[in-house]
Amino acid sequence: MLCTHTGSGYEYTTQPLICHVGPSSVHRPERAVAAVGGCGLVCAFAPHFLACMQACKQAMTKEIEALLGPTVLTKAGAPTVPIASAIGSADIVLLYFSASWCPPCRSFTPLLKAFVEENGKKSGIQVVFVSSDSDLRSFEEYFKKMPWLSLPAGAETTKIKQKLEQMFQIRGIPALIAIDAKNGKYITDDARSDVVGAGGDDAKQKEIIQKWKSIEAVPIEEATFSSAAGPTGIGAVVVFLLRNPIFIFGILYFARRALAYLQEMGKDGENQGGAAEL
Query: Which domains are delineated in the chain?
Result: 2-68 (no CATH), 71-234 (3.40.30.10)
Mean pLDDT calculated for residue range 104-126: 94
- Percent of the chain beyond pLDDT 90? 49
Under the banding of pLDDT at 50, 70 and 90, the label for residue 252 is confident
- Averaged confidence pLDDT in the chain: 78
Condensed to tens digits (0 to 9), the pLDDT of residues 57-114 reads 666 667 888 899 999 999 998 999 999 889 988 999 999 999 999 999 999 999 999 9
Strand order in 92-98's β-sheet?
Answer: 149-150, 125-131, 92-98, 175-180, 186-188
Helical spans, DSSP H, in the chain: 30-36, 39-42, 49-68, 83-87, 103-115, 136-143, 155-167, 191-198, 202-214, 234-243, 246-277
pLDDT at 155 over 70: yes
Residue 48 has a pLDDT of 67
What is the pLDDT, as a whole number, of residue 100?
95
Task: Tell me what pLDDT residue 70 has.
Answer: 93
Q: Which of 91-95, 120-124, 260-264 has the lowest mean pLDDT?
A: 260-264
Percent of the chain at pLDDT above 70? 65
Does the structure show a pLDDT above 60 at 14? no
Task: Supply the pTM of this predicted model.
Answer: 0.67
Instruction: Give the pLDDT mean for 42-67.
Output: 70
First to last CA, the chain: 104
Residue 43's pLDDT is 66
Least confident among 62-76, 156-170, 173-187, 235-249: 235-249
